[in-house]
Amino acid sequence: MKALAAAFAVLALAGCGSSGDGLDMRITLVVEDENIRAEGSECAGARPFQYVHAKAAYMLEDGGGDALVEDDLPAGRAVNADPSIDWGVERIPTYCVFELELDDVPRRPRYALRLARGSPLPFDASFVEGGEPVELTLR
Amino acid sequence: MAAALALGLVAAGCGGDDPVAGGAEDLPGPVPKGVTFAEPPASAVDAPDFAATLVDGTPVRASELWNDRPLVLVFTASWCETCADVHRTAARVVDEHEGVALLGVVPADDADAARDYADELDLGDPLAAADDEVWLDYAAREPPLVALVAPGGKILRGWPGGVEEAVLARELDALRG
């Protein structure tokens, strides 16, 4: 029995199996590029945010700059840049929004989303611990 | 022994002169005899000329393509999921209009992936990587964007997001001499 417990301890130390104490995280990345698009259409960041597009690499870092997750962005979706206005046409000023879902992210007090260019976008762990998406904005 | 060597060369990609989709082999030939085009409206503005590099490394200049024929520019990217359909549609219309040329343009940082994109589409038209400045000159803030340049280099229309087949066909029909 002791041997079995010891084996489990070794496996746990080795990181085998799911730790289960990581954080499932949703990030909504809003690129406020105000480009003219059909609402709901697939989009990428318009210039000068052309580096934000499907298949572009991103990294989630902890507060110390260590990489926790590396993945590629999905395609974005165009959302109305100003819902208070009835534009009356199909193609309207929009933002391009990317929805990221990250599973079992190691718990840290602070995180930052790093894209191919620009400064990392920082946020506190408290913003994502309730399961709600954290909204990060490029403008 | 010889067979093994040949197999090795094939595996290494050596000895093949296969044309690259979107490369120099896909540049248009001369405008066919008897095909003429109308003058663009006097009010049309000059299209910004630019240099770019085809996916096989061949340099290309836009003005050489639009010198004596209409040129359809398709600003696209390998990672853009809607661009391939827009590109295919434009290529189909251009195919139906003798003497018209099409040049696909990807961002400079997409040049490597663009080879696979060109391979997959296999449209028979050239595909080039161009610097940010070219995209800005054509107000191509985001792919896809289709632009129509008249013979001689006057820009006629631009369609952010793509253009319907019938609309592009109508524009090219209007350019017939």
The pLDDT tens digits for A18-65 are 456 899 999 999 999 999 999 999 999 999 999 999 999 999 999 999
pLDDT along chain B (177 residues), means of 10: 44 59 96 92 93 97 97 97 96 97 97 96 97 95 96 95 97 91
Take residue B40 and report the two structure tokens written for it. Answer: 């663009």
CATH number at residue A92: 2.60.40
Q: How many structural domains does chain A have?
A: 1
Give chain B's end-to-end CA distance (angstroms, integer): 61
The pLDDT tens digits for A85-118 are 999 999 999 999 999 999 999 999 999 999 999 8
Among B79, B132, B141, select the one facing A46 at the smallest CB separation.
Answer: B141
- The residue among B77, B137, B80, B146 whose CA lies nearest residue B108 is B77
Task: Using CA coordinates, name the residue in chain A closest to B133.
Answer: A47
The pLDDT tens digits for A56-78 are 999 999 999 999 999 999 999 99
> For the CA atoms of chain B, what is the radius of gyration?
17
Give me the sign of the Cα torsion angle A3, A6, A12, A16. Answer: negative
Task: Using CA coordinates, name the residue in chain B closest to A38.
Answer: B161
Answer yes or no: is pLDDT of A121 > 80: yes
Q: Which amino acid is at B20?
A: V
Q: Which amino acid is at B40?
A: P
Size of interface A-B (CB pairs under 8 A): 45
Q: Where are the domains of chain B?
A: 42-174
How many residues are there in chain A? 139
Among A36, A42, A45, select the one facing B82 at the smallest CB separation.
Answer: A42
Residue A63 vs residues A69, A127, A138: alpha-carbon distances, Å: 13, 14, 19
Cβ distance A37 to B161 less than 8 Å, yes or no, reads yes
Contacts of A134 (CB under 8 A, 6+ apart): A25, A26, A27, A28, A123, A127, A128
Take residue B63 and report the two structure tokens written for it. Answer: 């003005």
Is A66 a member of any domain?
yes
Answer yes or no: is pLDDT of A2 > 90: no
Average pLDDT over residues A112-129: 94
- Domain residues for the domain of A32 are 22-138
> How far is B140 from chain A, CA to nearest CA, in Å?
8
Is A10 a member of any domain?
no
Is A43 a member of any domain?
yes
Cβ distance B142 to A47 less than 8 Å, yes or no, reads yes
Cβ distance B80 to A53 less than 8 Å, yes or no, reads yes
Query: Hey, what CATH topology would domain B42-174 get?
Result: Glutaredoxin (3.40.30)
Q: Using CA atoms in the order A2, A6, A9, A11, what is the torsion angle rounded to 10 degrees?
A: -130
Take residue B117 and report the two structure tokens written for it. Answer: 């994109």
Is A4 a member of any domain?
no
